[in-house]
């Protein structure tokens, strides 16, 4: 397929907000793409170059793109900036400037290859080399192609669909209609190997038989299982029967991958060894990686976990699920999330590793010595886990297994919950003993119960920021005085507003939020967001910043598109470990409301 054809599909996708139309357009695109280009075509339509967890970053900012466009089209940077000020979109500027371009008919694979080469340029003089290569590519593209090449390079592709919509489109191409069982088969494979391009390629090549070649793999993050909410231990016993109860940690989710027989890639090896050796004076010669719940690799943040894994894990290959918790060396007490998350940085890793030592509290095992364990029962997985980790629940090392009780009695759950809160944890996790690991799912096989203050809403709500309002009075100096938040509705593929927030932030929080928001600001409101005009923001942002919000009340609302509104909301913390689609769900909001009013 010519990239110009792909660009025309992207234009169609941009022009419709309707999910069914988006799915049909994607299905038609999938039909037209050949087996050797379908993965690249899908990556590019989503705005990246490979599976999301391993895609290359362009590291090209708007100022640099202004220079690229000036060089590509033989105009001044001032002229590019003038057009950009009017349109608010450098993609549109490129489209206007490229109208006289001779058409070179670049293929999808051609453009993908050239973009990958640009992204990989590094070292001395890299900016000049990236500028020259990018300008050359744009000079070979027609106007519409140039528009989307620029947006892809700037990570500004906003077409209103996700990988799950691509799975819907794949279902449509396979049998021409909706099929929940088929969608589940595709989604189950995608959840254990989240490379949407690979899934599409295998299906394109061999139909459903191709899914057999999409398997769990060490080094490829698995979508983390999520927990539902229940309001009482009585409900737990009634709904779940015999359960495994353990502490709920207020840390950062860490999925650890290790394979003693797999060498790390040269680039990974250099970085991994650098951070481990910086602290421990040792090198890791085999693959060890860590990932967050939103598939981001974090190996460089946790050199101490990397070091401990080689010593404490009795396995050739393994994938573990757990929580990293900072702790106080003198008291042994765990630190709040906001202190632990300071480890999420690329610089001064060694210093912070010394200042904020970690415990890696493991609560599940997904893979062992070449075999997936997700279909085993929780009890079986716990038995295997206990044999794999030296020390187990007794501790004694950096990696520990979370302590637990196994019971079907409400009073034993309540007793463990009370002790857990007394020990400073934020609540408990309750898991059905005969359940498999449901990658990416949020079901009642896992339930979380957190500390409840009867004067406020019984739980916090994870939301994503859609934009902010200019400050007044004392906040005028920050240029921000409040922000609009929403939750993700997966069924409707939409962000639904739930409240405006103006409390819970210190002065430094307002400064931080303004900087973060301005770095991802847009001229228009997010395409896949349902926002009433009365909540229009002064500055819109791409839906990327996830925050945890507390509130005094939850009420029904005819104004907020979520159908509910948080009253007297306040910021608890920034959730940099969560993705925008990993917010509290509409179903959970309804449960919180019904629980409050006894319904």
Please, are residues 497 and 530 in contact by the beta-carbon 8 Å criterion? yes
**Token representation of residue 213:** 């070649």
Please, are residues 377 and 244 in contact by the beta-carbon 8 Å criterion? no
Please tell me whether 442 is known to bind a ligand. yes
Residues β-bridged to residue 239: none
Please tell me whether 291 is known to bind a ligand. no
How big is the CA angle at 270 (ends 264 and 273), to the nearest 5 degrees? 85
371 as an active site residue: the answer is no
Distance CA 296, CA 580 (A): 13
Closest CA to 301 of 577, 96, 79, 505: 577
**Token representation of residue 67:** 């220079």
What sign for the dihedral angle of Cα 113, 115, 120, 121?
A: positive
CA atoms within 13 A on the CB side of 222: 30
Burial class of residue 441, CB neighbours in 10 A (0-12, 13-18, 19+): middle
- For the chain, the helix, strand and coil percentages under 3-state DSSP, each to the nearest 5: 45, 20, 35
What sign for the dihedral angle of Cα 290, 39, 491, 184?
A: negative
Please tell me whether 343 is known to bind a ligand. no
Please, are residues 22 and 179 in contact by the beta-carbon 8 Å criterion? no
Please tell me whether 448 is known to bind a ligand. yes
Query: Cα separations (Å) of 17 from 37, 69, 161, 494, 498?
Result: 26, 30, 9, 10, 21
Query: Cα separations (Å) of 483 from 498, 515, 538, 560?
Result: 11, 13, 9, 14
Please, are residues 41 and 6 in contact by the beta-carbon 8 Å criterion? yes
Distance CA 37, CA 111 (A): 11
Distance CA 261, CA 128 (A): 40
**Token representation of residue 85:** 């000020």
Closest CA to 560 of 580, 596, 531, 536: 531
Q: Which of 114, 147, 201, 248 is catalytic?
A: 248
How, if at all, do strands 521-522 and 482-489 pair? unpaired
Please tell me whether 277 is known to bind a ligand. no
DSSP output for 248-293: EP-SEEEEEEEETTSPPPHHHHHHHHHHHHHHHS----SEEEEE-T
Which amino acids are annotated as binding site, given as ranges?
246, 253, 293, 323, 363, 442, 448
Residues marked as catalytic:
248
Which amino acids are annotated as binding site for ATP, given as ranges?
246, 253, 293, 323, 363, 442, 448
């Amino acid at each position: 397929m010519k990239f110009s054809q792909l660009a025309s599909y992207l234009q169609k996708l941009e022009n419709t907000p309707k999910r069914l139309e988006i799915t049909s357009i994607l299905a038609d695109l999938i039909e037209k793409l050949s087996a050797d280009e379908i993965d690249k075509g899908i990556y590019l339509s989503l705005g990246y170059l490979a599976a999301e967890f391993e895609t290359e970053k362009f590291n090209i900012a708007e100022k640099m793109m202004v220079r690229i466009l000036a060089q590509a089209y033989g105009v001044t940077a001032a002229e590019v900036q003038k057009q950009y000020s009017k349109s608010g979109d450098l993609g549109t500027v490129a489209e206007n400037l490229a109208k006289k371009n001779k058409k070179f008919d670049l293929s999808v694979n051609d453009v993908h290859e050239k973009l990958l080469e640009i992204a990989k340029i590094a070292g001395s003089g890299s900016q000049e080399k990236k500028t020259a290569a990018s300008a050359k590519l744009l000079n070979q593209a027609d106007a519409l192609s140039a528009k989307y090449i620029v947006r892809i390079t700037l990570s500004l592709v906003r077409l209103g669909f996700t990988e799950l919509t691509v799975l819907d489109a794949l279902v449509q191409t396979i049998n021409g209609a909706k099929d929940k069982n088929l969608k589940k088969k595709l989604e189950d494979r995608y959840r254990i190997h989240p490379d949407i391009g690979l899934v599409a390629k295998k299906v394109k090549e061999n139909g459903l038989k191709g899914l057999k070649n999409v398997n769990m793999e060490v080094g490829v993050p698995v979508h983390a299982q999520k927990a539902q909410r229940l309001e009482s231990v009585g409900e737990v016993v009634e709904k779940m029967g015999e359960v495994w109860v353990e502490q709920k940690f207020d840390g950062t989710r860490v999925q650890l991958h290790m394979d003693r027989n797999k060498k790390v890639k040269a680039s990974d090896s250099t970085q991994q060894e650098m951070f481990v050796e910086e602290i421990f004076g040792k090198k890791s010669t085999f693959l060890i990686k860590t990932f967050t719940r939103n598939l981001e690799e974090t190996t460089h943040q946790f050199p101490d976990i990397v070091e401990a894994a080689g010593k404490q894990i009795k396995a050739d290959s393994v994938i573990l699920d757990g929580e990293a918790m900072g702790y106080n060396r003198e008291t042994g007490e765990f630190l709040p999330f906001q202190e632990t998350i300071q480890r999420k940085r690329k610089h001064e890793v060694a210093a912070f590793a010394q200042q904020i030592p970690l415990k890696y509290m493991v609560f599940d095992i997904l893979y062992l010595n070449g075999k997936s364990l997700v279909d085993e029962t929780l009890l079986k997985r716990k038995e295997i886990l206990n044999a794999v980790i030296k020390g187990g629940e007794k501790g004694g090392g950096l990696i520990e297994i979370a302590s637990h009780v196994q019971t079907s009695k409400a009073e034993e759950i309540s007793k463990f919950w009370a002790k857990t809160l007394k020990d400073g944890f934020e609540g408990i996790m309750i898991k059905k003993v005969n359940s498999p690991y449901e990658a990416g799912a949020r079901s009642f096989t896992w339930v979380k119960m957190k500390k409840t203050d009867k004067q406020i809403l019984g739980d916090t709500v994870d939301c994503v920021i859609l934009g902010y309002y200019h400050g007044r009075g004392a906040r005028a100096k920050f240029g921000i005085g409040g922000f609009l938040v929403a939750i993700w509705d997966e069924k409707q593929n939409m962000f639904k507003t739930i409240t405006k927030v103006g409390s819970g932030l210190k002065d430094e929080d307002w400064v931080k939020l303004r900087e973060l928001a301005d770095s991802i600001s847009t001229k228009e409101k997010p395409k896949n967001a349902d926002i009433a005009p009365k909540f229009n923001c002064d500055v819109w942002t791409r839906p990327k910043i996830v925050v945890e919000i507390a509130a005094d009340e939850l009420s029904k609302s005819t104004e907020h598109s979520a159908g509910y509104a948080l009253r007297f909301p306040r910021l608890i913390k920034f959730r940099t470990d969560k993705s925008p689609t990993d917010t509290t769900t509409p179903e959970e909001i309804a449960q919180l409301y019904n629980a409050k009013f006894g319904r």
